[in-house]
C-alpha cells in the first residue's frame, strides 16, 4: 500500500514538474516572439504580428494540453531541445538566428513602411500554416518517438505507414511549410527571403540524422530503400 501511494506521489510530482516546464516554455515563447516582432515595429498596431501570434500559440497550447493528458512522455521529449552533438547544436543555433532576424526584419518593415505583401499572400500564409499544423499534429499521433534531439530511443521501431510511407522525414517537411508561411502572414517579402535559409539548414540536420539511424536503428537501411524521398515526393 505504501509503495502504491509512493508511486502515485512520484507520478504526481513528475506531472507537476512537466506542467511547470511546459508553461514556462510556452510563456517564454510568447514573450520572445512578441519582443522580436513588436519592438522593432515600434508599435502594437502591427496587425499581422497579432495574426501570427494567434495562429502560432493557440494551436500550440491546444496541442500541449492534449499531449499532457494523452502522452506526457512525448511532451517531455518535445520540450527537451538541447543537442549534445556539436553539428546539431550549430543547426539549432542557426535556426534560432534565422527566426530572430526574420521577425526583426518584419517588424522593421512595418515601422519604416517597407513593401508589404498583398492581403492574398497573408491569407494564403494563414491557410498554409494551419493546414501544416494539422499535419504536424497527425505526425505527433503517428510517431511517439519524436524527440527534438537526434537520438535512437529504447525500443524504437521503424515507422513506414501514414505520412512516413510518403517521405522519410514528414516532420521536417511540415516545419518547412510552417516556417515559410510565417513571413507571408507577417506580410514581409524580406523576411521570407531570410526564412528560405531553413530548408538548407534542415537538410544538413537530415544528413547527420540518417547517418545515426543507419548505424543504430535496425531496419532503417531497408526503410530507405522502400521510401525513396526525404522531404518532398519525387524531388528529394
- DSSP codes, 124-174: HHHHHHHHHHHHHHHHHHH-TT--SS--PPTT-----SGGGGT-S-HHHHH
Q: What are the pLDDT digits (tens) for 40-59?
A: 999 999 999 999 999 999 99
Q: What is the pLDDT of residue 3?
A: 46
pLDDT digits (tens, 9 = 90+) for 118-163: 999 999 999 999 999 999 988 888 877 665 555 555 556 777 788 8
Confirm if 178 and 126 have CB atoms less than 8 A apart: no
Kindly state whether residue 124 falls inside one of the protein's structural domains.
yes
111-127 in b/e burial notation, b at 16+ Cβ within 10 A? eeeeebbeeebbeebbe
- What's the whole-number average pLDDT of the chain? 86
Question: Percentage of the chain surpassing pLDDT 70?
Answer: 85
Q: Is residue 235 in some structural domain?
A: no
Mean pLDDT of 184-188: 97
Any idea what the CATH number is for the domain that residue 221 is in?
1.20.120.1630
Global pTM value: 0.85
The three-class DSSP label of residue 143 is coil
Number of domains in the chain: 1
Q: Report if residue 122 sits inside a domain.
A: yes
Q: What is the per-residue pLDDT across 162-181, written as a single tens digit (0 to 9) for each?
A: 888 899 999 999 999 999 99
Section 12-37 average pLDDT: 88
Amino acid at each position: 500500500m505504501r509503495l502504491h501511494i509512493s508511486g502515485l506521489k512520484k507520478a504526481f510530482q513528475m506531472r507537476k514538474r512537466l506542467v511547470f516546464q511546459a508553461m514556462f516554455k510556452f510563456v517564454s515563447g510568447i514573450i520572445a516572439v512578441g519582443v522580436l516582432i513588436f519592438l522593432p515595429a515600434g508599435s502594437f498596431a502591427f496587425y499581422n504580428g497579432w495574426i501570427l501570434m494567434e495562429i502560432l500559440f493557440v494551436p500550440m497550447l491546444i496541442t500541449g494540453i492534449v499531449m499532457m493528458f494523452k502522452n506526457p512522455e512525448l511532451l517531455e521529449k518535445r520540450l527537451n531541445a538541447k543537442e549534445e552533438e556539436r553539428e546539431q547544436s550549430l543547426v539549432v543555433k542557426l535556426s534560432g538566428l534565422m527566426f530572430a532576424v526574420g521577425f526583426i526584419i518584419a517588424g522593421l518593415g512595418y515601422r519604416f513602411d517597407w513593401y508589404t505583401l498583398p492581403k492574398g499572400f497573408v491569407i494564403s500564409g494563414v491557410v498554409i500554416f494551419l493546414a501544416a499544423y494539422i499535419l504536424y499534429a497527425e505526425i505527433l499521433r503517428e510517431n511517439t518517438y519524436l524527440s527534438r534531439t537526434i537520438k535512437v530511443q529504447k525500443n524504437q521501431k521503424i515507422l513506414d505507414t501514414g505520412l512516413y510511407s510518403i517521405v522519410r522525414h514528414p516532420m521536417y517537411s511540415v516545419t518547412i511549410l510552417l516556417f515559410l508561411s510565417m513571413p507571408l502572414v507577417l506580410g514581409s517579402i524580406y523576411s521570407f527571403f531570410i526564412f528560405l535559409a531553413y530548408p538548407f539548414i534542415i537538410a544538413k540536420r537530415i544528413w547527420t540524422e540518417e547517418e545515426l539511424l543507419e548505424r543504430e536503428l535496425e531496419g532503417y537501411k531497408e526503410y530507405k530503400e522502400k521510401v525513396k524521398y526525404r522531404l518532398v515526393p519525387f524531388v528529394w
